[in-house]
Amino acid sequence: MTADAVTSALGRRPGKVIAVHLNYASRAAQRGRTPAAASYFLKPASSLTGSGTVERPAGTELLGFEGEIALVIGRAARHVRPDDGWGHVGWVTAANDLGLHDLRAADRGSNVRSKGGDGYTPLGPELLPAAELDPAALRVRTWLDGELVQDDTSATLLFDFGHLVADLSRMLTLEEGDVILTGTPAGASVAVPGQVVEVEVGTVDGSRGTGRLRTEVVDGPPLAPWGAAGEVDDATRSDAWGTPPPRLPDAVRERLANVAVATLSVQLRQRGFDSAVIDGVRALAPGRRIVGTARTLRFVPFRPDLFAERGGGFNAQKRAIESVLPGEVLVMEARRDPTAGTLGDILALRARVRGAAGIVTDGAVRDAAAVAATGLSVFSAGTHPAVLGRRHVPWETDVTIACGGATVQVGDVIVGDDDGVVVIPPGLVDEVLAAAEEQEREEHWIAAQVGAGAGIDGLYPLGGRWRERYEAEQEQP
């Protein structure tokens, strides 16, 4: 679909292209903030195009891509209610909200040049009639050079399509042919010349789809020397490439692997974190440890209509497995219900191949022996032969969850051993780890004294002359 084809298909050139800043829970988790209300910016209609090429100006660095579901207004909307908003949408298609991050600082608050360049809003290739679609059951996927990098559904939107139409219509008339870009999920990043970005929108069940919107990035001429110059720093690069969940430095990971969970639990409790233990979970294969940063998956109780909508296909459980990164721990909230499996051997194997540090679930594991044989560190509340559909619906990923009575957020540090699993807020890791290491040094010294025949009075806990002796020995070279 070319720019002319877009106009031809709609019967007119869109008068407005309106884009939502932040609208997916996965993207909000990645950004570390969740907006209380939707916010928007405008893109010029001249930025519209279809599949083809887009130029990255010579001398610039950060051409970002964002796969999105685009709504095309089919009936004018002014002062409509959220329940009526979807009825004003005529068609749905795929969009790529391209932007040159080098110019973000120059266009802060407007995105006029950074997001408004010619060819920066590809749409297509097919328009799907909105009246034939369930607005809560649409899926957007993005590929970079054939690798799936974005995959989410409209069921996870912070502000649904009807709300967006109604919200905008409070202050302006949405006219037939206007386009609303409804936000991008986690996974948006940067493409360089020679790379190809493809976006497809379709139904969750796969029965309808737009086909792939294909954009190849090519070298373009440099920006003219007048006007604001591009600015790129580490923060801009991090924003453009997509900030991943926090990673543990290797040295910290190694130190955590050598401290007992029981000791970490004591130190967390001393700081007021009495619910930092994920209760009821144990290592599927005794002797295995787990250390990593958290990603999250939430199951809700089984309901036939919800399972039919979100239980099959590339559901939240599979998306979580396919997005877990090396060194991360996937933590699953299953409401402490061990009467159906939340993980089997195939998904466990896939997580291990992707480099996951492990999986924790307050539900059950099925195919337990095969899961253990994968070598992946798995902690669960038990084992059960039934598939998850007996009790659970895979619901959402990368949101704050409650697992075994403990709150877990993306980026929290997870440590597990044969005693259980603890959750450490990232900001406390250095403090808690250093204190735990000191506690274990003291306890190892105390154990040596007890082993040599000393009584525990005044020795455990360490105090008085025993503490003086311990501290004196620690000062010795």
Each residue's pLDDT tens digit in the chain (477 positions)?
Answer: 444 555 665 666 789 999 999 999 888 877 767 788 899 999 999 999 999 999 999 999 999 999 999 999 999 999 999 999 999 999 999 999 999 999 988 877 788 999 999 999 999 999 999 999 999 999 999 999 998 989 999 999 999 999 999 999 999 999 999 999 999 999 899 999 999 999 999 999 999 999 999 999 999 999 999 988 888 887 788 788 876 556 788 999 999 999 999 999 999 999 999 999 999 999 999 999 999 999 899 999 999 999 998 898 878 898 888 878 889 999 999 999 999 999 999 999 999 998 999 999 999 999 999 999 999 999 999 999 999 999 999 998 878 899 999 999 988 999 999 999 999 998 899 999 999 999 999 999 999 999 999 999 988 888 888 888 888 888 877
| Cβ atoms within 10 Å, residue 91 | 21
Q: Residue 2: its pLDDT value, please?
A: 46
Tokens read off for 320: 């979580």
CA angle 360, 364, 368 (to 5 degrees): 90
d(CA 388, CA 341): 5
Q: Residue 239: its pLDDT value, please?
A: 80
Q: Are 199 and 67 in contact (CB under 8 A)?
A: yes
d(CA 347, CA 320): 10
Task: Kindly state the greatest CA–CA separation across the chain.
Answer: 92
Q: Are 237 and 229 in contact (CB under 8 A)?
A: no
- Is the overall model pTM greater than 0.75, yes or no? no
**Domains contained in the chain, CATH given:** 3-241 (3.90.850.10), 250-430 (3.50.30.40), 437-475 (no CATH)
d(CA 185, CA 148): 13
249 Cβ contact partners less than 8 Å away, ≥ 6 residues apart = none
Name the CA dihedral angle for 363, 187, 46, 114, rounded to a multiple of 10 degrees: 130
**Upper half-sphere CA count for residue 237 (Cβ side, 13 Å):** 5
pLDDT tens for 84-95 read: 999 999 999 999
Exposure string (b/e) for 153-180, b if CB count within 10 Å is 16 or more? bbbbbbbbbbbbbbbbbeeeebebbbbb
Q: Residue 31: its pLDDT value, please?
A: 74
Using a 10 angstrom Cβ sphere, with 0-12 exposed, 13-18 middle and 19 or more buried, the burial of residue 243 is middle
d(CA 318, CA 311): 10
